Amino acid sequence: MNGFPSILEGIEDLNREQVEQLLQRSQELKLGSPARLPLKRKISVATSFLENSTRTKLSFTMAIKQLEGIHIDFDAEKSSLKKGESLEQTLLTLNYQGIDICIVRTKDSGLLTEFKERPPIKMINGGDGSNQHPTQALLDLYTLMEEFKVKRPGDLKGKKIAIVGDCTHSRVTHSLIDLLPMFGIEITLCGPKEFIPKNLPNHIKVMTDLDQCLRESDAIYLLRIQTERHGHQFDMTSYNSDWGINIDRIKKLGYEIPIFHPGPANIGIEVDSAIVNSNLWKAHKQVENSIYVRMAIIEAMITNGDDNIGARYNKIFNTQGNSTHEESKV
C-alpha cells in the first residue's frame, strides 16, 4: 500500500484509496488469507495504554498474535518515563530494541502530533482524549459494510447514520465525522445540547428530536456518557427516558434498525438490556471484526517500508579529520 503513514493519529492521515485497501484486506484476512509480512523475522509490536481499555487493547493483542508477532506490553507507569526520560527518548529506545510499532492510548488529545515530522517509531493511536480513535472508526465502517452487505465503502453512499449521545467528548465520533462522509455516508448527531460539538462541518446534520432522527436513519450509533472527560457532574436522572434506546422506541419505528456501539455500553442509561440481547445489537460484531481490521492496519504499517523511522542521530562533525562522534540533534 503506497504512502501508508508512519504515525496513524487520525483519519486525516489516510486517503480514500488507503481506507478502501485496508477494508478489502480486512475482509481477506477474515476469510483466512495469510499475513503479508517480512519472512525473515517476527514483527514486534508494543502496546502502551495509559487509559483503561478492554476492547482496543485486547483486540490489538489478538491481532498481533494472529500475525504471529511478538507483543510487548509496555507499562509506562513503571518505566523510566517516571525518572524524567522524555517520551521521545523512550520511543527511540523501543525502536532501537527492535520494536516495529507502538500502539498508544492516552488521555492527552493530540499527543502523537509532535512526532509526525520525524517519527521515533511507527505509532498507532489507540484513542487520545476526545480527539481521535481511527482504528475504531475503520472497524465500524467495515461492520457497516458487512451489515448492509456491500463490497466497497463507496457502496454505502447515501446511507444515513444517527450518532446519538455524548458526541462532544467522543473521539470515535470525531473519527467517524472524518471517515464516513469520505464515502458519501450522511451523519446526523443527536443528543442533549451540551453533547453536540461546536464548529461542525456543514455536511454534518444536528437534530434534537430523537424519534424523528431515528425515523430518518438507516442505522443508529450509540454513545455512552463519557463522564471521565467532563469538567462537571452531568445529571443523568432523565437521560434514559429522554435519550435512551429501548424496545418501545424501536417498535414505534415499525422496522428493524441496526444499532452500533463502540463500547463500553452503560446498560440502563443509553441502551436497555432488551436491545443488547436482541439481533439489532451489532456491538459484538464490531468487536469480532476489530481483530481483522487491526491486523490489516499493522500489516500495512509494517510493509510500508519507511526507512527514516528512528533515524534521528546525525553526525555533527562530518568533515575529514574532525571527530567521528555521533550525537543527537535534540
62: exposed, middle or buried (C-beta count within 10 Å: 0-12, 13-18, 19+)? Answer: middle
Is the separation of the CB atoms in 191 and 165 below 8 Å?
A: yes
Q: Which is nearer to ligand CP, 137 or 309 (CB)?
A: 137
- Residues in 250-269 at the binding interface with ligand CP, rule: CB under 6 A: 262-264
Q: How far is the CB of 103 from ligand CP (least distance, A)?
A: 11
131 part of the interface to ligand CP, by CB under 6 A: no
In the list 3, 38, 54, 98, the residue contacting ligand CP (rule: CB under 6 A) is 54
Q: Which residues pair with 73 in a beta bridge?
A: 47
Pairing outcome for strands 101-106 and 313-315: unpaired
In the list 119, 127, 153, 258, the residue contacting ligand CP (rule: CB under 6 A) is 127
Choices 51-59, 205-213, 270-278, 292-300; region in contact with ligand CP by CB under 6 A:
51-59
Q: How far is the CB of 129 from ligand CP (least distance, A)?
A: 13
303 part of the interface to ligand CP, by CB under 6 A: no
55 part of the interface to ligand CP, by CB under 6 A: yes
Q: Which is nearer to ligand CP, 95 or 286 (CB)?
A: 286
Q: How far is the CB of 51 from ligand CP (least distance, A)?
A: 8
37: exposed, middle or buried (C-beta count within 10 Å: 0-12, 13-18, 19+)? Answer: middle
Q: What is the identity of the amino acid at 88? A: E
Is the separation of the CB atoms in 131 and 16 below 8 Å?
A: no
Q: How far is the CB of 80 from ligand CP (least distance, A)?
A: 26
Q: Which is nearer to ligand CP, 133 or 159 (CB)?
A: 133
Choices 50-58, 142-150, 202-210, 215-223; region in contact with ligand CP by CB under 6 A:
50-58
Choices 49-57, 71-79, 246-254, 317-325; region in contact with ligand CP by CB under 6 A:
49-57
Q: Which is nearer to ligand CP, 206 or 269 (CB)?
A: 269
Q: What is the identity of the amino acid at 154? A: G
In the list 21, 53, 109, 304, the residue contacting ligand CP (rule: CB under 6 A) is 53
The percent of the chain in helix, strand and coil, each rounded to the nearest 5, is 40, 15, 45
Choices 27-35, 54-62, 106-114, 229-237; region in contact with ligand CP by CB under 6 A:
54-62
56 part of the interface to ligand CP, by CB under 6 A: yes
Q: Which is nearer to ligand CP, 59 or 95 (CB)?
A: 59
Q: How far apart are CA 243 and CA 264, in angstroms?
A: 17
143 part of the interface to ligand CP, by CB under 6 A: no
Q: Which residues of 272-302 are buried (b: 16+ CB within 10 A; e: fewer)?
A: beebbeeebbbbebbbebbbbbbbbbbbbbb
CA neighbours within 13 Å on the CB side: how many for 246?
Answer: 11
321 grid coordinates: 579529520
227 part of the interface to ligand CP, by CB under 6 A: no
Q: Which helix (H) or strand (E) holds 252?
A: helix 247-253
Q: Which is nearer to ligand CP, 122 or 224 (CB)?
A: 224
165 part of the interface to ligand CP, by CB under 6 A: no
Peptide bond into 197 cis (omega under 30): no
Q: Which is nearer to ligand CP, 26 or 56 (CB)?
A: 56
Q: Which of 328, 147, 194 has the alpha carbon at shortest distance from 161? A: 147
Is the separation of the CB atoms in 68 and 124 below 8 Å?
A: no
Residues at the interface with ligand CP (CB under 6 A): 53-56, 127, 136, 262-264
